[in-house]
Structure 1
């Protein structure tokens, strides 16, 4: 049953916009309790705007930030709830062209460079969103540390010595992996500056790379018995259980990466040909066979657990809004919940990737070659697959030399 509508203008925000926004959320399966909470926040914000003579056309993040200052001593959950309501409402107004979206012309010089660099990573380099989220903050920190004070960049910021000094200063006390990622980002940024014409020559080579030595440890993996125990913990009588069961099978049977599971769309499941279209790293698109067990799990979820949604993603959030999963971390959360139910405690990060390691380990122990494993895991280089040779313990014992005995005899 729909909540009672506001029939009069709600202060600084016209009631029709609030009602239309809440109707949009209602269509996305938000509960009426949540909608009433959001309505109260928006009505309070509307009264606040009216008292300060803030018109709808002037609504932006700064106005919301001033409104939120009244919650200095409020509980964290209330602050989070109100901030989320205001942000989603502003995004709705901008999407409907009711409020102007920020343009490059209104941004500072640093903000413009940063926005264009992110666009370069996505469009020109074809980086996955996860990679953009890794490299972007390094460049944002670099630009912020060379702010002239008015939003512009210092004159000597794009200089080889300045960039190297920044690298040295920000790598102190940091791990080798953090420093390596920072150098990769800075080298990429230098190439971007050269392509834009901001530097006379490409300073890419002026940033020394950090060598990453291949680890000598044996990769952590799940045994087939552990995988089956984890899959068996799902309650397939519930929508969540149907979804999680299909996700775990994709990880275990096909060795998909977490991000690849998240990116699956309805059109990627080719039922007639029995294959799955996988959108992998570096915008690679590959077709993999769809085992009947996995196909049946996906079909059951689509029929009985997914529900109605405008999203084309295969796997959706359980709670509103009913849209695709936010990212690979959501898959990791599903796996960690399965670990908890099964009583497992993995001693490493990247829980979802343990299934991928387990598939490779099982294959090599059944006599598969490195080339065959690389093909199944869709590695572009067999060097990435060679690490799994370390788990063939029996084969390694056959080539190991015997330990010398006393007196030098072998």
Structure 2
């Protein structure tokens, strides 16, 4: 099948590329499409007098717009052709045949931002996404008000914040407030700016924990878990994920980052390390442990990883962050026919907390399971228990 493809400019590297695609779990039809794309790419590069180390995917993409190559074999401009060419170029880079694309060098990261990132990781235990977000806002502040913090004045900082806030929603603005204040406090501690500048960053007017907890009913949770029944790898994985979220109230990132070493089968416990490296051991319920074990029996083995959960579409790899886990929940909710304004993994965390409260678990114990820093955050879930609220509510004086 590959003989006619091997005769082209990409031929010497197609067998190795095919072996990589097979190891990564691509099925035969998809791999063939990518191999055709690789062969097509080779002919285009050769036709323009280029060598393998001169591959420019932008030029190839432009060629595909009006491609009439007789060898294309259906591999003209579509997702498989473009993505296959990208994978082939990545493979050539890995084996040293192709050099990395020459792109306009991004501005060097300011030294202050680099040190701020290191400080966040060491002293705040911040995750990579948080560090990236804080660094972006810190760099924006440096660009807007100058690279010498000793010369900064409150008016300039407030002006920067108000300009950015006018273009964003309340969620983004809350994060901007937090990141700028953290950066300014860091600079003050390091003696690089006047103390107190963090206080000039306005707080966004949004009442914390003012809304009602977002949760599913017990019947909806049962339907959600039932929607993951089946022997397919994806269904087994999804069932284990749903149970971890609904029974233990884990965050999406906790599930994405779960490793084999975190599951202590002998003691029936689970080690979870979330925000700020706050690590706890949680009891592993029997049904949750059974679901994980059932998934591990058929978990893809082509991708060497110590992460428990992998994607089920090639190339098999771990979930980089919690967004993928939330996508799994959203698809399961759709299969279960659950109509709710709240979608994603976090609604199951709220659900777990609400269920624990309704079963009489004290707020402080719920806070330990959810790894809350303060009891006020956990008390937020008491709003969902009307019976409990009736017990603590005081009658109006006229009723006495």
Matches for 1:176-255 after TM superposition, within 5 Å = 176-189=170-183, 205=198, 208-211=201-204, 212-255=206-249
CA offsets 1:284-331 (integer angstroms, 9 cap, x no match): 333222122111111111113545432222112111112113432222
Return the match for 1:338 from 308, 321, 332: 332
Return the match for 2:27 from 6, 25, 31: 31
CA offsets 1:118-176 (integer angstroms, 9 cap, x no match): 96477445422343454455457667x76xxxxxx977899455544332212115333
Return the match for 1:303 from 265, 288, 297: 297
Return the match for 1:369 from 356, 362, 374: 362
SS of 1:65's equivalent? helix
Aligned partners of 2:16 and 2:310: how far apart in 1?
24
Return the match for 1:40 from 28, 36, 41: 36
Aligned partners of 1:208 and 1:272: how far apart in 2?
50
Matches for 1:108-187 after TM superposition, within 5 Å = 108-110=106-108, 116=114, 120=118, 123-124=121-122, 125-132=124-131, 134-135=133-134, 138=137, 159-160=152-153, 162-172=156-166, 174-187=168-181
Matches for 1:277-292 after TM superposition, within 5 Å = 277-292=271-286
Return the match for 1:272 from 266, 271, 277: 266
CA offsets 1:312-357 (integer angstroms, 9 cap, x no match): 22112111112113432222222222222332211224x3222222
Query: Conserved in 1, the CA contact under 8 Å of 2:326 and 2:345?
Result: yes
Return the match for 1:21 from 17, 23, 28: 17
Query: Conserved in 2, the CA contact under 8 Å of 1:122 and 1:129?
Result: no
Alpha-carbon spacing, 1:244–1:108, altered in 2? closer, same or farther (3 Å) = closer
Query: Conserved in 1, the CA contact under 8 Å of 2:5 and 2:39?
Result: no
Post-superposition offset of 1:73? 7.9
* Equivalent position of 1:318 in the other structure: 312
* TM value normalised by structure 1: 0.79
Aligned partners of 1:241 and 1:66: how far apart in 2?
41
Choose 181-190 or 256-265, whichever is displaced more. Answer: 181-190
Aligned partners of 1:179 and 1:113: how far apart in 2?
25
SS of 1:322's equivalent? coil
Choose 209-218 or 22-31, whichever is displaced more. Answer: 209-218
Query: Conserved in 2, the CA contact under 8 Å of 1:121 and 1:132?
Result: no
Aligned partners of 1:114 and 1:40: how far apart in 2?
48
Aligned partners of 1:5 and 1:114: how far apart in 2?
56
* Equivalent position of 2:87 in the other structure: 88
* Equivalent position of 1:107 in the other structure: 105
Choose 118-127 or 385-394, whichever is displaced more. Answer: 118-127
Could you list the runs of 5+ residues in structure 2 that have no partner in the other structure? Answer: 68-75
* Equivalent position of 1:150 in the other structure: none
Alpha-carbon spacing, 1:165–1:402, altered in 2? closer, same or farther (3 Å) = closer
Count of residue correspondences: 388
